[in-house]
Amino acid sequence: MFEILKAGGWGMLPILACSAVGLAIVLERFWTLRRSAVLPPGLGEQVRSWAHSQQLNPSHIQALRENSPLGELLAGALDVRSRPRAEIKERIEDTGRHVVHDLERYLSSLGTIALIGPLLGLLGTVLGLIRMFLAVMTSGVGDPMKMAGGIGEALVCTASGLVVAIPAYILHRYFRARVRGYVVQMEKQATALLDELTIARAVPIDARPPASSAAARPARAAS
Protein backbone atom coordinates (compact mmCIF):
# COMPACT_ATOMS: atom_id res chain seq x y z
CA MET A 1 0.00 0.00 0.00
CA PHE A 2 2.80 2.41 0.86
CA GLU A 3 4.45 1.72 -2.49
CA ILE A 4 1.21 2.54 -4.29
CA LEU A 5 0.86 5.81 -2.39
CA LYS A 6 4.50 6.62 -3.04
CA ALA A 7 3.93 6.03 -6.74
CA GLY A 8 1.36 8.84 -6.71
CA GLY A 9 4.09 11.43 -6.19
CA TRP A 10 3.66 14.86 -4.65
CA GLY A 11 0.06 15.05 -5.81
CA MET A 12 -0.83 12.55 -3.10
CA LEU A 13 0.01 14.90 -0.23
CA PRO A 14 -3.10 17.14 -0.41
CA ILE A 15 -5.27 14.08 -1.06
CA LEU A 16 -3.94 12.35 2.06
CA ALA A 17 -4.43 15.56 4.08
CA CYS A 18 -8.06 15.75 2.92
CA SER A 19 -8.63 12.11 3.81
CA ALA A 20 -7.29 12.66 7.35
CA VAL A 21 -9.45 15.76 7.89
CA GLY A 22 -12.50 14.03 6.42
CA LEU A 23 -12.05 11.01 8.68
CA ALA A 24 -11.79 13.23 11.76
CA ILE A 25 -14.97 15.10 10.79
CA VAL A 26 -16.89 11.88 10.17
CA LEU A 27 -15.92 10.39 13.52
CA GLU A 28 -16.74 13.62 15.38
CA ARG A 29 -20.13 13.96 13.67
CA PHE A 30 -21.08 10.34 14.32
CA TRP A 31 -20.42 10.94 18.02
CA THR A 32 -22.07 14.36 18.24
CA LEU A 33 -25.16 13.50 16.20
CA ARG A 34 -26.16 10.47 18.24
CA ARG A 35 -29.92 10.53 18.73
CA SER A 36 -29.61 10.15 22.50
CA ALA A 37 -27.35 13.20 22.60
CA VAL A 38 -29.54 15.42 20.41
CA LEU A 39 -33.03 14.22 21.41
CA PRO A 40 -32.85 12.66 24.90
CA PRO A 41 -35.81 10.28 25.38
CA GLY A 42 -38.66 11.79 27.38
CA LEU A 43 -37.14 15.25 27.67
CA GLY A 44 -39.98 17.01 25.84
CA GLU A 45 -42.63 15.40 28.03
CA GLN A 46 -40.63 16.27 31.13
CA VAL A 47 -40.38 19.94 30.22
CA ARG A 48 -44.09 20.13 29.41
CA SER A 49 -44.75 18.64 32.84
CA TRP A 50 -42.71 21.44 34.38
CA ALA A 51 -44.74 24.01 32.45
CA HIS A 52 -48.01 22.30 33.41
CA SER A 53 -47.22 22.36 37.13
CA GLN A 54 -45.24 25.63 37.00
CA GLN A 55 -42.11 23.90 38.31
CA LEU A 56 -39.90 26.38 36.51
CA ASN A 57 -36.92 28.02 38.15
CA PRO A 58 -33.57 29.30 36.82
CA SER A 59 -31.66 26.18 37.90
CA HIS A 60 -34.06 23.90 35.99
CA ILE A 61 -33.84 26.04 32.87
CA GLN A 62 -30.04 26.30 33.00
CA ALA A 63 -29.68 22.54 33.43
CA LEU A 64 -32.07 22.07 30.52
CA ARG A 65 -30.06 24.45 28.32
CA GLU A 66 -26.85 22.50 28.95
CA ASN A 67 -28.52 19.12 28.49
CA SER A 68 -28.76 18.80 24.70
CA PRO A 69 -29.66 20.73 21.52
CA LEU A 70 -33.33 19.96 22.17
CA GLY A 71 -32.91 21.21 25.74
CA GLU A 72 -31.32 24.42 24.49
CA LEU A 73 -34.27 25.01 22.17
CA LEU A 74 -36.87 24.38 24.88
CA ALA A 75 -34.95 26.51 27.38
CA GLY A 76 -35.10 29.40 24.92
CA ALA A 77 -38.89 29.16 24.96
CA LEU A 78 -39.01 28.97 28.76
CA ASP A 79 -36.86 32.10 29.08
CA VAL A 80 -39.71 34.17 27.61
CA ARG A 81 -42.66 32.05 28.79
CA SER A 82 -44.46 35.07 30.28
CA ARG A 83 -44.55 36.92 26.95
CA PRO A 84 -47.21 36.64 24.21
CA ARG A 85 -47.29 33.50 22.08
CA ALA A 86 -45.91 35.31 19.02
CA GLU A 87 -42.82 36.43 20.93
CA ILE A 88 -42.23 32.95 22.34
CA LYS A 89 -42.47 31.52 18.84
CA GLU A 90 -40.02 34.10 17.55
CA ARG A 91 -37.55 33.20 20.32
CA ILE A 92 -37.90 29.49 19.42
CA GLU A 93 -37.11 30.30 15.79
CA ASP A 94 -34.09 32.40 16.74
CA THR A 95 -32.74 29.74 19.09
CA GLY A 96 -33.47 27.06 16.50
CA ARG A 97 -31.24 28.76 13.96
CA HIS A 98 -28.33 28.63 16.40
CA VAL A 99 -29.04 25.00 17.27
CA VAL A 100 -29.17 23.95 13.60
CA HIS A 101 -25.93 25.81 12.94
CA ASP A 102 -24.25 23.79 15.69
CA LEU A 103 -25.71 20.53 14.38
CA GLU A 104 -24.35 21.27 10.91
CA ARG A 105 -20.88 22.15 12.18
CA TYR A 106 -18.06 20.87 9.92
CA LEU A 107 -20.52 19.55 7.31
CA SER A 108 -19.53 22.33 4.91
CA SER A 109 -15.90 21.24 5.28
CA LEU A 110 -16.88 17.64 4.57
CA GLY A 111 -18.78 18.77 1.48
CA THR A 112 -15.73 20.75 0.35
CA ILE A 113 -13.56 17.66 0.67
CA ALA A 114 -16.07 15.71 -1.43
CA LEU A 115 -15.90 18.47 -4.05
CA ILE A 116 -12.15 19.00 -4.27
CA GLY A 117 -11.14 15.32 -3.99
CA PRO A 118 -11.59 14.61 -7.72
CA LEU A 119 -9.98 17.96 -8.56
CA LEU A 120 -6.90 17.06 -6.53
CA GLY A 121 -6.85 13.70 -8.28
CA LEU A 122 -7.03 15.51 -11.62
CA LEU A 123 -4.16 17.75 -10.53
CA GLY A 124 -2.08 14.68 -9.72
CA THR A 125 -3.01 13.23 -13.09
CA VAL A 126 -1.80 16.34 -14.88
CA LEU A 127 1.44 16.34 -12.88
CA GLY A 128 2.01 12.69 -13.78
CA LEU A 129 1.45 13.36 -17.47
CA ILE A 130 3.81 16.33 -17.35
CA ARG A 131 6.41 14.11 -15.75
CA MET A 132 5.92 11.53 -18.51
CA PHE A 133 6.26 14.11 -21.29
CA LEU A 134 9.39 15.55 -19.71
CA ALA A 135 10.88 12.06 -19.61
CA VAL A 136 10.06 11.60 -23.28
CA MET A 137 11.64 14.95 -24.14
CA THR A 138 14.79 14.02 -22.22
CA SER A 139 15.40 10.43 -23.28
CA GLY A 140 12.90 9.84 -26.07
CA VAL A 141 10.50 6.93 -26.19
CA GLY A 142 13.21 4.30 -25.81
CA ASP A 143 12.86 4.10 -21.99
CA PRO A 144 9.40 2.71 -21.20
CA MET A 145 10.07 2.71 -17.43
CA LYS A 146 10.10 6.49 -17.27
CA MET A 147 6.85 6.69 -19.22
CA ALA A 148 5.30 4.03 -17.00
CA GLY A 149 6.25 6.04 -13.90
CA GLY A 150 4.39 9.10 -15.15
CA ILE A 151 1.33 7.11 -16.19
CA GLY A 152 1.30 5.25 -12.86
CA GLU A 153 1.49 8.53 -10.94
CA ALA A 154 -1.46 9.89 -12.93
CA LEU A 155 -3.61 6.81 -12.34
CA VAL A 156 -2.83 6.53 -8.62
CA CYS A 157 -3.72 10.19 -8.00
CA THR A 158 -6.96 9.89 -9.95
CA ALA A 159 -8.04 6.78 -8.06
CA SER A 160 -7.03 8.22 -4.69
CA GLY A 161 -8.99 11.42 -5.27
CA LEU A 162 -12.12 9.41 -6.06
CA VAL A 163 -11.61 7.10 -3.07
CA VAL A 164 -11.58 10.14 -0.79
CA ALA A 165 -14.38 12.07 -2.52
CA ILE A 166 -17.03 9.35 -2.90
CA PRO A 167 -17.34 8.39 0.81
CA ALA A 168 -17.11 12.06 1.81
CA TYR A 169 -20.01 12.93 -0.48
CA ILE A 170 -22.15 10.02 0.72
CA LEU A 171 -21.53 10.80 4.40
CA HIS A 172 -22.12 14.51 3.85
CA ARG A 173 -25.57 13.76 2.43
CA TYR A 174 -26.22 11.27 5.24
CA PHE A 175 -25.40 13.75 8.00
CA ARG A 176 -27.45 16.49 6.35
CA ALA A 177 -30.45 14.15 6.19
CA ARG A 178 -29.97 13.18 9.83
CA VAL A 179 -29.88 16.83 10.89
CA ARG A 180 -33.07 17.56 8.91
CA GLY A 181 -34.79 14.68 10.69
CA TYR A 182 -33.69 16.00 14.06
CA VAL A 183 -34.94 19.48 13.18
CA VAL A 184 -38.41 18.13 12.40
CA GLN A 185 -38.55 16.31 15.75
CA MET A 186 -37.35 19.39 17.64
CA GLU A 187 -39.97 21.53 15.91
CA LYS A 188 -42.69 19.13 17.09
CA GLN A 189 -41.42 19.27 20.69
CA ALA A 190 -41.14 23.06 20.61
CA THR A 191 -44.67 23.43 19.23
CA ALA A 192 -46.04 21.12 21.94
CA LEU A 193 -44.28 23.19 24.62
CA LEU A 194 -45.59 26.41 23.09
CA ASP A 195 -49.14 25.05 23.30
CA GLU A 196 -48.57 24.00 26.92
CA LEU A 197 -47.25 27.45 27.86
CA THR A 198 -50.28 29.08 26.21
CA ILE A 199 -52.64 26.83 28.15
CA ALA A 200 -50.69 27.40 31.38
CA ARG A 201 -51.31 31.13 31.15
CA ALA A 202 -54.96 30.77 30.20
CA VAL A 203 -56.04 28.12 32.76
CA PRO A 204 -55.44 28.52 36.53
CA ILE A 205 -53.21 25.81 37.98
CA ASP A 206 -55.97 24.61 40.34
CA ALA A 207 -58.28 24.00 37.39
CA ARG A 208 -55.82 21.91 35.37
CA PRO A 209 -55.77 18.10 35.26
CA PRO A 210 -52.68 16.51 36.80
CA ALA A 211 -49.64 16.16 34.54
CA SER A 212 -48.80 12.73 33.21
CA SER A 213 -45.27 12.84 34.61
CA ALA A 214 -42.93 15.18 36.38
CA ALA A 215 -39.24 15.13 37.26
CA ALA A 216 -36.95 17.37 39.18
CA ARG A 217 -34.18 17.59 36.59
CA PRO A 218 -33.84 16.78 32.89
CA ALA A 219 -32.61 13.36 31.83
CA ARG A 220 -28.97 13.45 30.88
CA ALA A 221 -27.98 12.42 27.37
CA ALA A 222 -26.41 9.02 27.15
CA SER A 223 -22.70 9.17 26.80
Q: Taken in order 40, 37, 90, 75, is the CA torsion positive or negative?
A: positive
Cβ–Cβ under 8 Å, residues 107 and 180:
no
pTM: 0.80
Digit-coded pLDDT (tens) for 1-22? 666 666 666 778 889 999 999 9
Distance set, CA 121 to CA 4, 105, 108 (Å):
14, 26, 20
Digit-coded pLDDT (tens) for 104-162? 999 999 999 999 999 988 888 888 788 777 777 776 655 666 666 667 777 888 888 99
200-208: long-range contacts, CB 8 A cutoff, minimum separation 24: 200/51, 200/52, 200/54, 200/81, 201/82, 205/53, 205/54, 208/52
